[in-house]
Amino acid sequence: MTDYCKGTLTPITAAKSSEYTTKCLKNIFGLNSYPKSGIYIKGTNDTFEKYAIDFTNGNSISGVQRKLLMNHENGSFHPVNHNGKYIVKPSSKRLPHIAENEHAIMLLAKAIGLIVADCALVPFEDGELAYVTKRFDIIDDNTRLFIEDAASLCEVHPKHKGDDSLSYENTLITLFQASGNNQLVLLNGFRQILFAYIVGNNDLHLKNFSMYREPNILSNIMKDFTPIYDILSVAPYKEYDNEPLTLSLLSSELNGEFSSSHDQYGYYTLHDFVLLGVNIGFTTQATKAYINKMIKAVAKHAPVILSKSFCSEDHKTLILSRIEDRLECLGRPIL
């Protein structure tokens, strides 16, 4: 049986006592070798509960995911009040194996060319795995990237981050303007939305889009999106698997006007994403090329990554089935 790195999912070729490749140890944990005491989170999921704060009222997956800032000393993670270099999110009874789910989907996003934050699975002292993301906004002890989420940039109150009056089309246009009309922002945003639809992530609200600018820059122009840091598939969680996306895809949908294909099929297909691309300034040909490229990449990498992932077998099946279904939707003829 092959052992896979809990960070990169590549085969472990180092000593069997290590759960991470040498490269992963360096890139994510800043370690040159695997500590004798191992890499783990102090305590258990139950003790984590005593420290964690739920940030919303639980209407979405992110609303019930507990999270804490942490640092580690030679691989031993512990909570801190500020300046934590890692964000730690465990699974819960309501959301079993969501840590493994998010890790797998993040690595799939990376495999198809999206820019994602460094992440890994790290066990509690009893062996249960938690999802750990290394913060990308910390440059050094005294320097941070300036980051602003889409709710702020779109002047939307955080409690309305997923409101029915919002669309991805309008959001991308606003973020494009905030970047000083950087064309890459449109493409990167389009790809994030398309990927979310494919994997079954319906929690892509305005606070899960963030942009940045370099420190000490006097201009208020944002440079680009930050790396993706919060994406998973809701396919295994029926309670939350109720909408294909958080926001309306097209601004016309806010007035009840859907594409002719959506009217016929009853769900988003290639036609809807082509309209999104055209509405934000891409040509039809270019939009189709972007979509087809992602379809091929996801079809290639998803089965491999999920098979190696630490997700439970039933979750692997549910997630892959959702991905295959969405790829089929994107293959439907335009009507």
Mean pLDDT within 39-59: 71
Query: Mean pLDDT over residues 166-190, rounded?
Result: 97
Average the pLDDT over each of 170-179, 213-222, 225-234, 309-318 and give the range with the smallest value.
213-222
CA pair distance 313, 321, nearest whole angstrom:
12
pLDDT at 266 over 60: yes
CA dihedral angle for residue 60, residue 86, residue 307, residue 196, rounded to 10 degrees: 40
- Looking at the DSSP assignment, which residues form a beta bridge with residue 108? none
Amino acid at 288: K
Count of CB atoms situated within 10 Å of the CB of 33: 11
Out of 26-40, 56-70, 193-207, 276-290, which region has the weakest mean confidence (pLDDT)?
56-70
- Considering Cα of 187, then 191, then 197, then 201, what sign does the dihedral take? negative
Q: Does residue 246 surpass a pLDDT of 60?
A: yes
33, 25 Cβ separation under 8 angstroms: yes
- Residue whose entry in the numeric block shows the structure tokens 């958080």: 246
Q: Range with the lowest mean pLDDT among 10-14, 136-140, 153-157?
A: 10-14
Q: Are 201 and 240 in contact (CB under 8 A)?
A: no
The CATH number assigned to the domain with range 142-330 reads 1.10.1070
Q: Report DSSP letters for 145-193, one per residue.
A: -EEEEHHHHTT--GGGTT-TT-BHHHHHHHHHHHTTS-HHHHHHHHHHH
Beta bridge partners of 213: 146
Residue 63 has pLDDT above 60, yes or no: no
- According to DSSP, the residues that pair with 273 across neighbouring strands are none
User: What is the reported pTM?
Assistant: 0.94
Q: How far apart are CA 64 and CA 82, in angstroms?
A: 22
Do the bridges between strand 76-79 and strand 40-41 make them parallel or antiparallel, or are there none, so unpaired? parallel
On whether the CB atoms of residues 175 and 235 are closer than 8 A, the answer is no
Domain ranges in the chain are 22-134, 142-330
**CA-CA distance, 136 to 1, in Å (whole number)?**
34
Measured between alpha carbons, how far is residue 104 from residues 33, 82, 131, 175 in Å?
A: 24, 28, 10, 28
